C-alpha cells in the first residue's frame, strides 16, 4: 500500500485524456469517451468489458515479471492453481465456521510444514498462515517478547532487545519499532556479511528476547550459521548466562534447505529453535500473499496471545494481526504441496539452484566481476566489480540492464560495509536456463559498452568528459 499515491494529473485534465476509441467514441453503444477515474469516482457506471479492458491495458505498463530478477516472489503458477484460486477467493479465511474445509486445509499445511521442519511432535507444533513473512515475523517476535516478559517478571524498568544481523529484512526493524523492542543490529564487517555465533552471543544480555537467524540473507542469499549460533547460546545458558531462544527467519530458505540441503541442521532439530517463518509466496511457489509461522510446541507460543474464534460451534484458536483475508492463497499453498510432494519441490528448487550456480560462474568468468556468493545456498547470488574497475560501477550495470528490460537491483551492504555495492540476482522457477543465456548475452554487451566508453574517453586525452 502506498500511503500517499504518486502524483496524479489535476482534476480537470482527465476530461481530455484519450481513452481507447474502440471502447468509447467508436462503439455505437457508448459514443462517448471513457477514461479511467484518477482522483474521484466518475459520475456514471461503465460496462464491465470497458472497465476490464482499460484496467487490463494500464497494467501492461508494469514491468515483465519474467525479466524481474529482483523479486523473490512467485510470478508463475499452473492454470489449475489459478482456477482453484479463482474458485476460493470469495472464502474468508477467518470464517472458520462457514468454511470448515478451508480451515482444515490450513491446519494440514501447518502440520506439513511442522513435519518438514522436524518439529519433535508435529501434533503439538502450532502455527498459522499469515499474509507473508512480515506478519509471521511480527507474530514470532511478539511471542518471544511475551515469553521474555514472563521470564523476567514483567519488570517495566527493563527494555527488551532483539539480536540480529544488520542484514535482516526490514520487517524486523519494523517489529522492533512497533513493539518497543531495541533492535540490536550486529554490523557486518570485512568478509563476514551476515550474523555469526560469536557476534550473536556477544550482543546478548538478560533482556534479549531472542536471536533472529536468517536462512538466507536477502542481501546475498547466504545462510546464517543457525547451528553454530544455537551451540553458542547453549554454552551461554549452561555457563549461567541467560537462556535465549532462536527464531529462524526462513522466508526463502525454509523452503529450499529441506529439499536441497537435508544434512544442514537449522530447524526444530535444534532444541533452541523456538519458531520458524517462511513466505509461501517465495520458494513456497505460491502467488502473493501467504506466509507461515510455526512454533515448536505450545510452550513456545504464549497462550494469552491466542484468540478463539467460533468454529462449527466450537472454539478455534487463532493468532494473527489481520482478521478477514481471502482463502485462495492458503488453498493454492495446499494445492502446491499436494501437486509437487517432496520430490516435486526438490526438482523445482534444484533447477533454480542449477541456474543460479551456473549463471554465477559465467559472470565470474566474464572478468570484471567478483562473486560475493555463488548461488549454492539460496538460488540467489550477489556480485560486485573487481578492484581494477574504477571508471564504472554496479549502478551503471543495473541501469544498462534495465534498457534491455532486466530488473537487477544494485545496492550497498548495511553498516559497516556500506562501501560494498553489489548487484543481486534471484533465480526463481520461471527463470529458465534459456532466459539465463539471454541474460548473459545482455550483461556481456552492457559490460563491454561500459568498458568501451571508458577506453574512448581515455584515448581523447586529459580533460576528456567522463560520465
Ligand atoms: C522477503 C523476506 C521477508 C518479508 O517477507 P514477506 O513475505 O514479503 O512479508 C522477511 N525476511 C526475509 C529474510 C525475507 O527474505
76: Cα separation from own chain's centroid:
16
Instruction: Tell me how far the alpha carbon of residue 190 lies from the centroid of ligand 1, in angstroms.
Output: 25
What local confidence, expressed as pLDDT, does residue 2 receive?
Answer: 56
Distances (CA, A) of 199 to 184, 229, 249: 11, 9, 18
At 417, is the pLDDT very low, low, confident or very high (cuts 50, 70, 90)?
very high
What local confidence, expressed as pLDDT, does residue 271 receive?
Answer: 97
**Of 300, 291, 305, the residue nearest 270 (C-alpha):** 300
DSSP result, 438-461: HHHHHHHHHHHHHHHHHHHHHHT-
CB 267 within 8 Å of CB 273: yes
Grid coordinates belonging to 113 = 510444514
Q: CB neighbours (10 Å) of residue 309?
A: 15
CB 316 within 8 Å of CB 309: yes
- In whole angstroms, give the CA distance from residue 327 to residue 92: 6
What local confidence, expressed as pLDDT, does residue 12 receive?
Answer: 44
98: Cα separation from own chain's centroid:
31
At 369, is the pLDDT very low, low, confident or very high (cuts 50, 70, 90)?
very high
Distances (CA, A) of 290 to 98, 219, 325, 437: 21, 22, 10, 32
- State the closest ligand 1 atom to the C-alpha of 215, by its place in the atom list counted from 1: 13
Domains, the chain, ordered by start: 13-59 (no CATH), 79-337 (3.40.640.10), 350-460 (3.90.1150.160)
Question: Does the structure show a pLDDT above 50 at 467?
Answer: no
The best mutation among 168, 218, 320, 321 to test binding of ligand 1, ranked by most ligand atoms within 8 Å of the C-beta, falls on 218
- In whole angstroms, give the CA distance from residue 130 to residue 171: 14
Instruction: Tell me how far the alpha carbon of residue 213 lies from the centroid of ligand 1, in angstroms.
Output: 13
- Within 117-152, residue ranges assigned H as helices are 133-151
- State the closest ligand 1 atom to the C-alpha of 289, by its place in the atom list counted from 1: 7
Task: Name the more confident of 204 and 457.
Answer: 204
CB 145 within 8 Å of CB 209: yes
- In whole angstroms, give the CA distance from residue 384 to residue 373: 10
HSE-CB of 71 using CA atoms within 13 angstroms: 19
Grid coordinates belonging to 167 = 542484514
Instruction: Tell me how far the alpha carbon of residue 218 lies from the centroid of ligand 1, in angstroms.
Output: 8
**Which residues have a Cβ under 8 Å from the Cβ of 442 and sit 6 or more positions away?**
401, 404, 406
Grid coordinates belonging to 110 = 501447518
3-state DSSP assignment of residue 410: strand
Task: State in Å, rounded, how far the first CA of the chain is from the last one.
Answer: 36
What local confidence, expressed as pLDDT, does residue 320 receive?
Answer: 85
Question: Does the structure show a pLDDT above 90 at 84?
Answer: yes
Q: Which residues line ligand 1 (CB under 6 A)?
A: 72, 132-134, 137, 169, 171, 214, 218, 249, 251-252, 279, 291
Instruction: Tell me how far the alpha carbon of residue 345 lies from the centroid of ligand 1, in angstroms.
Output: 20
What local confidence, expressed as pLDDT, does residue 7 receive?
Answer: 55
Instruction: Report helix angle 328-366 to 433-459, nearest 10.
Output: 40
139 backbone dihedrals φ, ψ, rounded to 5°: -65, -45
Instruction: Tell me how far the alpha carbon of residue 368 lies from the centroid of ligand 1, in angstroms.
Output: 31
**Digit-coded pLDDT (tens) for 216-231:** 999 999 999 999 999 9
Task: Name the more confident of 317 and 255.
Answer: 255
Question: Does the structure show a pLDDT above 80 at 4?
Answer: no
How do beta strands 246-249 and 273-279 pair?
parallel
At 292, is the pLDDT very low, low, confident or very high (cuts 50, 70, 90)?
very high
- In whole angstroms, give the CA distance from residue 285 to residue 385: 32
Residues making up the chain, counted from first to last: 467
The best mutation among 136, 139, 221, 282 to test binding of ligand 1, ranked by most ligand atoms within 8 Å of the C-beta, falls on 282
The best mutation among 1, 133, 167 to test binding of ligand 1, ranked by most ligand atoms within 8 Å of the C-beta, falls on 133
What local confidence, expressed as pLDDT, does residue 318 receive?
Answer: 81
Percentage of residues in the chain having pLDDT higher than 90: 71
Grid coordinates belonging to 186 = 550486529
Task: Name the more confident of 62 and 85.
Answer: 85
Cα torsion 335, 336, 337, 339 to 10°: value is: 80
Beta strands in 229-300, from DSSP E residues, in sequence order = 246-249, 273-279, 291-295
Among protein residues, the one with the nearest Cα to ligand 1's atom 1 is: 251
Instruction: Tell me how far the alpha carbon of residue 293 lies from the centroid of ligand 1, in angstroms.
Output: 12
- In whole angstroms, give the CA distance from residue 285 to residue 307: 29
Instruction: Tell me how far the alpha carbon of residue 259 lies from the centroid of ligand 1, in angstroms.
Output: 20
Name residue 412's beta-bridge partners: 421
Pick the range with the lowest mean pLDDT from 39-53, 302-316, 450-464.
450-464
Grid coordinates belonging to 290 = 501467504
Report DSSP state, residue 61. Answer: T
What local confidence, expressed as pLDDT, does residue 93 receive?
Answer: 84
At 3, is the pLDDT very low, low, confident or very high (cuts 50, 70, 90)?
low
**Which residues have a Cβ under 8 Å from the Cβ of 65 and sit 6 or more positions away?**
71, 75, 76, 430
CB 215 within 8 Å of CB 223: yes
What global pTM score does this model have? 0.91
- In whole angstroms, give the CA distance from residue 277 to residue 198: 24
Pick the range with the lowest mean pLDDT from 19-23, 332-336, 414-418.
19-23
Average pLDDT, the chain: 91
Average pLDDT over residues 287-293: 96
Interior angle at CA 214, CA 212 and CA 217, nearest 5: 140
Average pLDDT over residues 137-162: 96
Grid coordinates belonging to 351 = 533447477
Instruction: Tell me how far the alpha carbon of residue 251 lies from the centroid of ligand 1, in angstroms.
Output: 5
- State the closest ligand 1 atom to the C-alpha of 136, by its place in the atom list counted from 1: 9
Among protein residues, the one with the nearest Cα to ligand 1's atom 14 is: 251
What local confidence, expressed as pLDDT, does residue 17 receive?
Answer: 56
Percentage of residues in the chain having pLDDT higher than 70: 93
Task: Name the more confident of 43 and 205.
Answer: 205
Grid coordinates belonging to 41 = 469516482
Average pLDDT over residues 126-142: 96
At 310, is the pLDDT very low, low, confident or very high (cuts 50, 70, 90)?
confident
Average pLDDT over residues 85-103: 87
**Digit-coded pLDDT (tens) for 10-68:** 444 444 456 777 777 777 777 677 888 889 998 888 888 888 998 998 888 887 787 88
At 466, is the pLDDT very low, low, confident or very high (cuts 50, 70, 90)?
very low
Q: DSSP 3-state helix, strand, coil percentages of the chain (rounded to 5)? A: 40, 15, 45
Sheet with 182-186, edge to edge strand ranges: 126-130, 291-295, 273-279, 246-249, 208-214, 161-165, 182-186
At 464, is the pLDDT very low, low, confident or very high (cuts 50, 70, 90)?
very low
Instruction: Tell me how far the alpha carbon of residue 57 lies from the centroid of ligand 1, in angstroms.
Output: 30
Amino acid at each position: 500500500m502506498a500511503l500517499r499515491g504518486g502524483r496524479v494529473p489535476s482534476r480537470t485534465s482527465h476530461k481530455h485524456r484519450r481513452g481507447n476509441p474502440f471502447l468509447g467514441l467508436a462503439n455505437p453503444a457508448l459514443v462517448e469517451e471513457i477514461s479511467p477515474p484518477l482522483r474521484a469516482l466518475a459520475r456514471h457506471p461503465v460496462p464491465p468489458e470497458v472497465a476490464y479492458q482499460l484496467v487490463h491495458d494500464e497494467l501492461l505498463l508494469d514491468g515483465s515479471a519474467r525479466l524481474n530478477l529482483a523479486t523473490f516472489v512467485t510470478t508463475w503458477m499452473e492454470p489449475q492453481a489459478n482456477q482453484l484460486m479463482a474458485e476460493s477467493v470469495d472464502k474468508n479465511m477467518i470464517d472458520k465456521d462457514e468454511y470448515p474445509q478451508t480451515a482444515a486445509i490450513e491446519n494440514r499445511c501447518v502440520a506439513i510444514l511442522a513435519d518438514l521442519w522436524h518439529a519433535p511432535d508435529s501434533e503439538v507444533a502450532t502455527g498459522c498462515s499469515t499474509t507473508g513473512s512480515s506478519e509471521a515475523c511480527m507474530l514470532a517476535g511478539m511471542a518471544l517478547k511475551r515469553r521474555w516478559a514472563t521470564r523476567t517478571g514483567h519488570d517495566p524498568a527493563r527494555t527488551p532487545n532483539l539480536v540480529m544481523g544488520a542484514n535482516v529484512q526490514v520487517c524486523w526493524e519494523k517489529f522492533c519499532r512497533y513493539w518497543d523492542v531495541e533492535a540490536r543490529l550486529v554490523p557486518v564487517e570485512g568478509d563476514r556479511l551476515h550474523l555469526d555465533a560469536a557476534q550473536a552471543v556477544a550482543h546478548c544480555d538478560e533482556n534479549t528476547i531472542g536471536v533472529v537467524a536468517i536462512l538466507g540473507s536477502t542481501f546475498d542469499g547466504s545462510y546464517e550459521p543457525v547451528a553454530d549460533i544455537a551451540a553458542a547460546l547453549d554454552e551461554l545458558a549452561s555457563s549461567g548466562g541467560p537462556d535465549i531462544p532462536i527464531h529462524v527467519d526462513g522466508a526463502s530458505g525454509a523452503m529450499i534447505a529441506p529439499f536441497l540441503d537435508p544434512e544442514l541442521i537449522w530447524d526444530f532439530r535444534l532444541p533452541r529453535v523456538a519458531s520458524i517463518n517462511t513466505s509461501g509466496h517465495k520458494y513456497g511457489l505460491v502467488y502473493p500473499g501467504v506466509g507461515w509461522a510455526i512454533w515448536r510446541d505450545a510452550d513456545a507460543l504464549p497462550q494469552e496471545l491466542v484468540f478463539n474464534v467460533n468454529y462449527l460451534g466450537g472454539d478455534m484458536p487463532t493468532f494473527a494481526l489481520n482478521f478477514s483475508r481471502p482463502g485462495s492463497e492458503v488453498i493454492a499453498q495446499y494445492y502446491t504441496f499436494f501437486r509437487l510432494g517432496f520430490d516435486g519441490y526438490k526438482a523445482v528448487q534444484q533447477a533454480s539452484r542449477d541456474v543460479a550456480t551456473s549463471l554465477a560462474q559465467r559472470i565470474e568468468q566474464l572478468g570484471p566481476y567478483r562473486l560475493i556468493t555463488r548461488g549454492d545456498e539460496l538460488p540467489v547470488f550477489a556480485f560486485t566489480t573487481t578492484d581494477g574497475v574504477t571508471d564504472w560501477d554496479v549502478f551503471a550495470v543495473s541501469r544498462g540492464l534495465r534498457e534491455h528490460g532486466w530488473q537487477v537491483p544494485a545496492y550497498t551492504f548495511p553498516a559497516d560495509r556500506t562501501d560494498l555495492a553489489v548487484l543481486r540476482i534471484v533465480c526463481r522457477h520461471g527463470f529458465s536456463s534459456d532466459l539465463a543465456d539471454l541474460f548473459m548475452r545482455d550483461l556481456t554487451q552492457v559490460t563491454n559498452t561500459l568498458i568501451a566508453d571508458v577506453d574512448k574517453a581515455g584515448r581523447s586525452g586529459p580533460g576528456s568528459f567522463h560520465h
